[in-house]
Structure 1
Amino acid sequence: MTSSTPSSPLLPAFGVGTFRLKDQVAIDSVRNALDLGYRAIDTAQIYGNEAAVGQAIADSGVPRGELFITTKVWTEHLAGDKLIPSLKDSLTKLRTDHVDLTLIHWPSPGGAVPVAEFMGALAEARALGLTRQIGVSNFNIALLREAIAAVGAGAIATHQIELHPYLQNHAVAEFARSQGIHTTSYMTLAYGKVLADPVVQAIAQAHGATPAQVALAWALQLGYAVIPSSTQRDHLASNLKARQLRLSDTDLAQIAALDRGERLVNPEGLAPAWD
C-alpha cells in the first residue's frame, strides 16, 4: 500500500518525543534536538518533564514561533472543571502562553468522565487560546466516533497511537483517515525491537541506511507523523535523515508483511478495548 494522506500543513510530520526522559536527560535531549533542527517537541503531563522541556526550549534561543509543542492531558485531569487548570499548569512549566497541540492522553478509565465532557473542555481550551489544535491518543474506533460526535472530525488534528511494523493498527488508522483525521505513530521503532529485524536490516543495507531510518521512512511514506526519541545526539541526527529516504513498493510490502499485532503498550485499567 503506497497511497498516503499528506501530513497536515499544521501538523509537522517529524518531531522528537520525550517519553521516559527526565530532568537533565530530558533537557539535553531536547536541547540537542533543537540544535540539530528539530522544531516539533512531544511531551505529556504524566511524563513529569514539562518543566525540563520548557527549560531546554528557553535555553535554546529558538523563537517560540518556530516551534510546535505538543502536550497531553492525563486522565486525572479530564473532568470538565480540571482540564483547563491542568493545561494552564502545563503552560507554566513549559514557559509558554500556549501549546500548538493538546491531546487527551488516554480515554477516561471505565468511562468515568464522558468523552463529550473532556472533548468539550478541550475545545474550550482551544477557544481560550491555550492550545492551537486539539486531538486524542490511544482511542479505539468507538471512542473516536464519540469524540467526533462531540467536537466534529475537523476539530481533531491527530490521533496518536502505538504504530510500528509489528503493530500496524490498520483498522484504527483507516477509520481515522476516512474521517480526515491524521495519525501520529508513537513507538515507531517498537522499543528498538524493529532495529534487529532481518527484513528491516536487509532493506537498510540495500539503501545504505540504518534500520531506524527505514522504520521511520516507512511510517512517513504511509502518511503518518513520527516522534522518535533518543538521548544520543548522533541518533537524533541520524533519525532526521529518514525524511530523505524513499522506500520502494517492494520494501513497503516486505514491511507490511511484518505485522503481527504485537502491542507493547497496553496498561491494565487504562487501555480501551482495542480494535
Structure 2
Amino acid sequence: MRSLLKIDTKGEEINVIFLRPFSDEEYEEFAAPMRIESFHRTNMRMRSIVLKNGKELESFLVATKYKRSAYEEEDSLLLIEANRLLLNFLSSFTTFIDHCSKQYSIHLTKLKKDFQKRDSYYFDEYFEYRFFKQMRNIISHIAFPLTKIRSNKEGFHILLDKKELLKFDWKRVVNADLETLEETVDITPMISSLCRQVESLSYDVMYDYKEKIIEAIYAYNKVYKEVQGSFGFTEYGSLEEFITADSPKINPISIAEIKKAIQDLNTHPDINIKLVSKEPADSIE
C-alpha cells in the first residue's frame, strides 16, 4: 500500500498534499504501461551507440586510406586501432539485438516471437547483417579480424583476409557469402549498410510498442485528472505514517519522458501520434 500525493510548486516553495491511500492494484494499473518508456530508452540509446561506433570505424578507415601521412603511428598500431573500433562496433550491434530481445520478454511477451522472426528476416535478407552478426559470434577465435594492410596509388587499406576467415565455423549461408568475396575484403562500404539495417530494425521495434506508449499517456492522465495537478506517491499508506516518518520519501511522477518518446516515435514514417493540450493534462487525438 502506498499513498497518492498532490504536489504544488510555487517558485522555490513545494507543497505536498496527502490525498488518499493508493492500493497495490491501482498502482500496478498505473505503473505497468509507464514502464514501456525504459524499453524505448534502451532502444534509442543502443541504436545511437551502434551508429556512433559504426561512424567512428568508418571515419577511421576512410581517414587512414586517404591521409595515411597524417598518422605518426606504425602500420601495426593502426591495425590494432582499426580492430579495436571494429570490436566496439560488433559488440554494440549484437548487444542491441540482445537488449531488444530481453525487453520484449519483459514488456511485449506476445510479440517476442515476432521480433525473433524479424531478426531472422534481416539475417536472411541482408549480407552485412548476417556477416557482422556471425563475426561477433566467432570473434574469440579470430582475435583480430582485420589482418591485412595494402598500400597503393588508391590509398592505404586495412582489410580482412578471406583465407583466414574461411578457417572458422561460419553458418553455411555466411560461408557461401565469403566464397564470393575477393581475397582481401574492405569492410568500409558494409558499415553504413549495417547501420541503416540497425536503424530500420529499431524503427520496427518502435512500431511494436507504440500502443504501450499511448496507454502510458492514458494511465498518467487518469491520475492527473483525479488530482487536478502534478502528483507523486509515497510508500506510506496513511497520513499519520507519512507525518510521523523521520524523512518521508516522495516519488514525483513526470510525463516528460513519455512525451519525448512520442516525439521519437513520430519520426517513424507510419506513426503519427498527436498530443492535444487540454486541461488538466495533454491527451491523445
TM-score range relative to shorter protein: under 0.3
Q: Which has the larger share of helix?
A: 2
Instruction: Give the structure-2-normalised TM-score.
Output: 0.25
Instruction: Give the structure-1-normalised TM-score.
Output: 0.26
Structure number with higher relative contact order (C-alpha < 8 Å, ≥ 6 residues apart): 2
